[in-house]
Amino acid sequence: MLTAKKRAPDSGQEEFRKIGIWAEIWRDYKKNKGAMAGLITVIVIIAVAVLAEFLFDYETQVVGIDIVNALKPPSMEHLFGTDQYGRDIAVRILYGARYSLAVGICAVMVSVLIGSGLGILAGYYGGITETLIMRTMDVISPIPSLLLAICISTAFGQSIGVLMLAIGVVSVPPFAQVARASVLTIREQEFIEAARASGAREYQIILFHVVPNALSPIIVQSTMRVASAIITASSLSFLGLGVPTPLPEWGGMLSDGRLFIRDYSYMTLFPGLAIMLTVLAINLIGDGMRDAMDPRLKR
């Protein structure tokens, strides 16, 4: 009598169950050399920004005044030269990484909490809730983000907290749209119906079933939005509406150096390179996260 052979489990599925979804994402992410280069660059920038406090004196080299050493060109003593007040530009750039990264990350966290929360509610409940939320987003979306951020910063004053809030608010509509689109494909899935049938309450379904399954596109969007937030923060600081002086924010340093750009171009060159390198590295991380987390891009 013929007996059916027991089918061996699919090796790919078995491996997926062993390593877990986040381990698989990390495995796929590591294959992207550009994404790994971006991650290493950001880690180095964060490390030097943290260590700067232990290596340099904040009061004398960052916000102090030393007219004797003003406008010194790059040298072994001052790698990136000094500004019009005699402050070391290299040290200020290292300290400025704290403000630029902190503003970018915190602003995106504001966008994620507000925008994703509204988008999840709109996608899950639909009806009048969806209409009110998404029509509000449609009203905000056409407004140029920088113009809206300028209006908020002008209305509430110049401070780091206001800067984070202003940049966070302008990024709310994209997060709401991404979260809503993701939830629309999740809310009719069988596991959601099973959760309802088991007696789970609405907030439990949203928190423990909908949100975890909608995280992937939100995480990818968050990573890419950090770069945009850093550029917006630098733009506002350049216009005098961002981080207040004499704090060493990169956009503010560009603004200070523009008056001396003809004879002392290094004052704008190095802060500009810092912004460019950081934004490029974060964009590479975002591209790697998108490729690793989007199943349609799996080879």
Q: Per the structure block, which two tokens stand in for 39?
A: 């991650």
Q: Which letter, b or e, does each residue of 142-181 get, where b requires 16 or more Cβ atoms within 10 Å of its Cβ?
A: eeebbeebbebbeeeebebebbbbbbbbbbbbbbbbbbbe
Among 52, 39, 15, 116, CA closest to 278:
39
The alpha carbon dihedral of 23, 25, 31, 33 has a sign of negative
What angle do the packed helices 172-186 and 117-125 form, to 10 degrees?
A: 40
Q: How confident is the model at residue 10 (pLDDT cuts 50, 70, 90)?
A: very low
List, for residues 223-255, the tens digit of each pLDDT value: 889 999 999 999 999 988 888 878 889 999 999
pLDDT tens digit sequence for 67-120: 888 999 999 988 999 999 999 999 999 999 998 999 999 999 999 999 999 999
Structure tokens at 213: 């399954």
pLDDT at 23: 84
**What pLDDT score does 6 carry?**
43
Q: Which residues pair with 88 in a beta bridge?
A: 82
CB neighbour list of residue 296: distance below 8 Å, 6 or more residues apart: none
Average pLDDT rounded to a whole number, residues 266-295: 90
Q: What percent of the chain has pLDDT over 70?
A: 92
What is the distance in angstroms between the CA of the first residue and the CA of the last residue of the chain?
Answer: 42
